[in-house]
Amino acid sequence: MDVRDYHHLAEEIAQQADTETLETYEDRIHYYESKNYSQIPIPDDNKYYNVDDGWIGDITLDQIIHPHTHLIDILELMEDAPFLLLDAFYGCYFLIYDGEYVTTFGTGLPDEHSTEKKEELLEKIENQYGFSEPDLLTYNELEKHYPKITDEKVDIENRYQIITLSRSHRQLRNLV
């Protein structure tokens, strides 16, 4: 049987990620060292801090993945990355109508590849809900245009999960 026939997904081996900002990571280095973490993710700036060697690196687009990414794809991505981040908002749009939050839709596609899906989704929303010209926004767009809605309606505490080789190894043993 092909390994891809098994539906082991990223979310099965990921753990909740502690993340920082460029303004906060320096004050938290000792915390990460005490946990034996090698990297401090700084996803809002597409950066991370390497705790062991004391330098800042870039988080690549390939390191931010959908929670339903297949295990085989994760292993391939881990060849070139010290960690992967699962983003709960990966491929998500937030529906705003008349200045009010309505709901969240997921396309499962990264933002830069989902223009067609967004147009299809907008048409479906207009037909299904009867909304005329709704706003369908990515998280970053929502945060920029509707900061109050972002603060009140969106749970960013649990946005990211992380996969590292050492953590993955422990989790993989539990799957077998």
Helix (H, G, I), strand (E, B) or coil at 156: coil
What integer pLDDT is reported at residue 116 of this predicted model? 60
What integer pLDDT is reported at residue 115 of this predicted model? 59
Strands (DSSP E) contained in the chain are 15-16, 39-42, 47-50, 55-58, 64-65, 83-87, 92-97, 100-106, 135-137, 160-164
* Tokens 């060292």 sit on residue: 33
Q: Both tokens of residue 131?
A: 């909304």
Contact 58, 47 (CB under 8 A): yes
- Listed in order, the ranges of the chain carrying CATH 3.10.580.10 are 3-88+158-175
Tens of pLDDT, residue by residue, the chain (176 residues): 455 556 778 888 899 999 999 999 999 999 999 998 999 999 989 999 999 999 999 999 899 998 888 888 998 999 889 999 999 888 888 999 989 988 888 766 555 545 567 788 888 888 888 888 888 898 889 999 999 999 998 888 889 999 987 644 444 445 54
What integer pLDDT is reported at residue 57 of this predicted model? 96
What integer pLDDT is reported at residue 1 of this predicted model? 45
The pTM of the full predicted model, rounded to 2 decimals, is 0.77
What integer pLDDT is reported at residue 2 of this predicted model? 55
What integer pLDDT is reported at residue 176 of this predicted model? 47
Smallest CA-to-CA distance from 35 within 11, 10, 54, 52 is with 52
What integer pLDDT is reported at residue 108 of this predicted model? 60
3-88+158-175 has which fold? CBS-domain (3.10.580)
Between CA 60 and CA 47 the distance in angstroms is 8
Q: Where are the alpha helices (DSSP H) in 79-114?
A: none
What integer pLDDT is reported at residue 149 of this predicted model? 92
